[in-house]
Amino acid sequence: MRTHRLQLLIAAAAVLAAACRDAVQPPQPGRVVASLTTPARDDGAVLAVLTGTAFGEVLPASTSYRVYWRLASPTEIRVVVLGNIVAGPLFSVTVPDVRQIAALHASVADVAGRADTARTSLSGYALSLAGGQGY
């Protein structure tokens, strides 16, 4: 009986140790890529807003894009992308833990066409976020 209890105790300790090891993982810093969905073919400027964590450096996804950004608060960044913008990756931004991407929110706040005309509707515009490599 004592041997059986000891074996159960050892097995339970092993299971708990494995669960704790898996639950405590250090942050994985990296880059998140913001990609644009657009109904237009002549976008020239996009204002994007990201919220949810601390943000770092922003880089354009294309050498033909110019990117300007500022931290609006410790957990909000605003990014302006200029150029002949097409659907697809717009920019990437560093975050403290790429595994926490579900806690981030991205939205399109404003868009202008290449003729410098503000869009009257943002219907059909969206930003999606994904962990990225190579940006």
What is the full per-residue pLDDT of the chain (135 aa) written as tens digits? 566 565 655 665 666 666 555 567 899 999 999 999 999 999 999 999 999 999 999 999 999 999 999 999 999 999 999 999 999 999 999 999 999 999 999 999 999 999 999 999 999 999 999 986 544
d(CA 59, CA 45): 15
Q: In 50-124, where does DSSP find H-type helix?
A: none
pTM to 2 decimal places: 0.79
d(CA 12, CA 71): 47
Residue 102: φ, ψ to 5°: -65, -20
